[in-house]
Amino acid sequence: MNRKFANTKLPDEGAMVLTIPQVARYLMISPLRAYALAAEGKIPCVHFGRSVRVVRADLEKMLAGATERAGREGGVR
């Protein structure tokens, strides 16, 4: 496991904005994969200079949509 990933705490329930390592931990993927998905536009994010942040509500909407599509299509991709 990546050291950066291992030391990243899960986000607090009340946190409105997440870092990419927090998103990676939340989704149980590597931080590199999370950065790649954000760069591809598959994880909704906001850039502040060199910093990348994810609005928790946007992430949850994305996940809800993916879950809904998987249910209709009969599987997860």
Please give the residue range of the domain that contains residue 32.
3-73
Q: Which two tokens stand for residue 56?
A: 């928790």
pLDDT of the residue at 2? 53
Give residue-wise pLDDT tens across range 17-48: 999 999 999 999 999 999 999 999 999 999 99
Provide the percentage of residues in the chain whose pLDDT is more than 90. Answer: 64
Cβ atoms of 31 and 20 within 8 Å: the answer is yes
What mean pLDDT is reported for the chain?
85
pTM for this predicted structure: 0.74
Distance CA 77, CA 69 (A): 10
pLDDT of the residue at 66? 81
Distance CA 76, CA 70 (A): 5
The count of domains in the chain is 1
